[in-house]
Amino acid sequence: MDTLISLLKSMSLRIDGLMQRLDIAGKAHTAEQLQAQASAPDFWNNPDAAQKVMQDIARLKEEVERWQGLNTRINDALELAQLDDPSLLDELTSEVESISALVERMSLQALLSGPYDNENAILAIHAGAGGTDSQDWAQMLERMYLRWAEQNGYKVEVIERSEGEEAGIKSVMFSIKGEYGFGYLQSEQGVHRLVRLSPFDAANRRHTSFAKVELWPDIQGQIDIEVAEKDIKIDTYRAGGAGGQHVQKNDTAVRITHIPTGVVVQCQNQRSQMQNRERALQILKARLFEMERKKQEAQLAALKGENVDAGWGNQIRSYVLHPYQMVKDHRTSYETGNTGAVLDGRLNEFMDAYLRMKVNGQPEGA
């Protein structure tokens, strides 16, 4: 029983520290203030603003209740353990194991404290140079992220997809909706490298393929960015399916080019041209917002004398299928020989290692 008491006390201290760091008490107070606002007679005079406040209240209350609930559960178990009743040992052992797993999960979520970490995500994959091999690799990555989303309870919506000439895909963009979607997936942005025996090479030689993953927070309706009509070019076309056939009789798909930056956004999954145009504009704003945010972060880092990340061009992870099996993240040094599991969506260990490195400022064990 002494071991259980020691574990529970340690977890209690850890959770208390995390609750202070996340200012859970302050968030509880903010939720109360917003709740008082919502009680005002004229609260619903502006429905859009009122809806935003109600969403903020729900989000804050959910976070506060989750942390307070865990704290209460630890304290309740500690009180029972301190009774030193042998008949409770098996029940308490099981409870401490369950609490420990929850503490680890909550501790990881505490690392996701960035301003947009709890937003949905827009993820895009682009095949690199290398023809069919790279396009096939881009499709393998697409499957990997779809499997990860499925395994972790996220909802996926394909926004735009461009098929490869012989196999695979040239590019794909989809939204990933769910709690901390952007926060977890931020570990994935960059260049992914594959080494394997090419199935498209008659001589069965080893090939190296590259694909680029981009990511933006999907903060619809919350981005304070103006896009002038004179700065964009809008083209319409028919949405294409596998094999190049058109899946719509009319030009419902939309391509928007932001002339000052050269950013191009395409959307083809909505039912009407107007819906595709609106969604493409949302994504364009998200991309421009993220570009500006990255620029400001780089400027701040330069002022502080820190090393400035070169951005999207970095090779972040290698997947080696021949002559040996290994997936290695070059930023965290985390690696595994179970390449099949990784390509089947088992990415949480890589995400965990990246988040911990981001908070600690260096790879674990460095």
Residue 2 one-letter amino acid: D
Which residues are CB-neighbours of 317 under 8 A, at least 6 positions away? Answer: 190, 192, 193, 327, 328, 329, 330, 350
Name which residue leads in pLDDT, 73 or 304: 73
The distance of Cα 12 from the centroid of its chain, to the nearest Å, equals: 29
Supply the angle between the helices 24-38 and 2-21 in degrees, to the nearest 10.
60
Confidence of residue 302 (pLDDT cuts 50, 70, 90): low
Q: What is the pLDDT of residue 22?
A: 83
The verdict on pTM exceeding 0.95 is no
Residue 159 confidence (pLDDT) above 80: yes
Other CB atoms closer than 10 Å to residue 32's CB: what's the count?
A: 14
Report CA-CA distances (Å) from 194 to 205, 320, 354, 356: 14, 6, 20, 25
Specify the CATH architecture of the domain 2-110: Up-down Bundle (1.20)
Tell me if the domain spanning 229-303 has CATH number 3.30.160.20: yes
Residue 225 confidence (pLDDT) above 70: yes
Cα–Cα distance measured from residue 205 to residue 86, given in angstroms and rounded to the nearest whole number: 65
Q: What share of the chain in percent tops pLDDT 70?
A: 89
HSE (CB half, 13 Å, CA atoms) of 122? 21
Cα–Cα distance measured from residue 282 to residue 268, given in angstroms and rounded to the nearest whole number: 14
Q: Answer whether 27's CB lies under 8 Å from 61's CB.
A: no
Residue 289 one-letter amino acid: F
Residue 185 confidence (pLDDT) above 80: yes
Residue 305 confidence (pLDDT) above 60: no
Residue 94 one-letter amino acid: S
The correct CATH number of 121-222+312-360 out of 1.20.1260.10, 3.40.50.1820, 3.30.70.1660, 1.10.10.10 is 3.30.70.1660
Q: What is the pLDDT of residue 260?
A: 92
Q: What is the pLDDT of residue 358?
A: 80
The sign of the CA dihedral 304, 307, 313, 316 is: negative
Q: What is the pLDDT of residue 113?
A: 73
Confidence of residue 25 (pLDDT cuts 50, 70, 90): very high
pLDDT tens profile 328-344: 999 999 999 999 999 99
Q: What is the pLDDT of residue 64?
A: 93
Domain boundaries, the chain: 2-110, 121-222+312-360, 229-303
Name which residue leads in pLDDT, 319 or 298: 319
Confidence of residue 240 (pLDDT cuts 50, 70, 90): low
Structure tokens at 162: 């461009």
Angle at 214 between CA 208 and CA 219, to 5 degrees: 165
